[in-house]
């Protein structure tokens, strides 16, 4: 399996979620199952069914997070030296050539992408168009709303 790129911040989010699942959620579910068993007949016990369902979800998510963390390549954007080139983890300041609006995006892994925080996935059309480009380059890509053009104003490694 190929290494999955992730920033140090994204890796920490996954580690925090894994810790919560193992130290908080798992014990809570085990306790909920024990309480439901104490109520008697399990065949018609909705609390037991709900607790077992939560347990299955939590255990599945634990396995998924452990797999992602063992297969990821953690990249610290502040240590990058890509000589001004847009790479994974870099923050890019762009100017929309249609309306002169300025936007700032950080290119991150799929798991940590959040447009509200200006973090775009490496697999998004705009990130694929930006990778390998430099400041003052113009990139064109196909967005869901149609063709878009941006000029790269600045590339930061923060």
Per-residue pLDDT of the chain (158 residues; tens, 9 = 90+): 578 899 999 999 999 999 999 999 999 999 999 998 888 777 778 888 899 999 999 999 999 999 999 999 999 998 988 899 999 999 999 999 999 999 999 999 998 999 999 999 999 999 999 999 999 999 999 988 899 999 999 999 99
Give the domain-ending residue among 75, 93, 119: 75
Residue 63's contacts (CB-CB under 8 Å, 6 or more residues apart) are: none
φ, ψ dihedrals at 103, nearest 5°: -130, 160
pLDDT of 81: 80
pLDDT of 154: 96
pLDDT of 41: 74
pLDDT of 47: 86
Number of domains in the chain: 2
Q: What is the CATH number of the domain that holds 105?
A: 3.10.50.30
**Residue 33 to residues 41, 57, 132, Cα–Cα distance (Å):** 13, 14, 52
pLDDT of 36: 86
Q: Tell me, yes or no, whether 108 and 140 share the same domain.
A: yes
Q: Tell me, yes or no, whether 54 and 125 share the same domain.
A: no
Q: H-type helices in the chain, by residue range?
A: 8-20, 26-38, 46-70, 125-130
Q: Tell me, yes or no, whether 15 and 40 share the same domain.
A: yes
Q: Tell me, yes or no, whether 82 and 132 share the same domain.
A: yes
pTM of the model: 0.83
69-86 pLDDT, tens digit per residue, is: 999 999 999 898 889 999
**Domain housing 61:** 4-75
On whether the CB atoms of residues 149 and 139 are closer than 8 A, the answer is yes
At residue 68's C-alpha, the angle toward residues 57 and 33, to 5°, is 20
What is the bridge-based pairing of β-strands 102-108 and 119-121?
A: parallel
Residue 143's contacts (CB-CB under 8 Å, 6 or more residues apart) are: 125, 126
pLDDT of 4: 87
pLDDT of 129: 97
């Amino acid at each position: 399996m190929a290494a999955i790129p992730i920033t140090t911040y994204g890796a920490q989010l996954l580690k925090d979620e894994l810790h919560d699942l193992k130290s908080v959620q798992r014990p809570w579910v085990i306790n909920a199952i024990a309480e439901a068993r104490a109520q008697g007949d399990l065949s018609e016990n909705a609390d037991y069914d709900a607790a077992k369902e939560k347990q299955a979800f939590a255990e599945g998510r634990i396995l998924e997070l452990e797999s992602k963390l063992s297969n990821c390549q953690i990249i610290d954007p502040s240590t990058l030296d890509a000589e001004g080139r847009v790479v994974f983890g870099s923050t890019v300041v762009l100017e929309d050539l249609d309306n002169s609006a300025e936007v700032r995006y950080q290119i991150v892994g799929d798991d940590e992408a959040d447009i509200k925080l200006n973090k775009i996935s490496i697999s998004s059309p705009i990130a694929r168009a930006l990778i390998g480009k430099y400041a003052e380059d113009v990139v064109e890509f196909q967005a869901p709303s149609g063709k878009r053009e941006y000029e790269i104003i600045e590339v930061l490694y923060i």
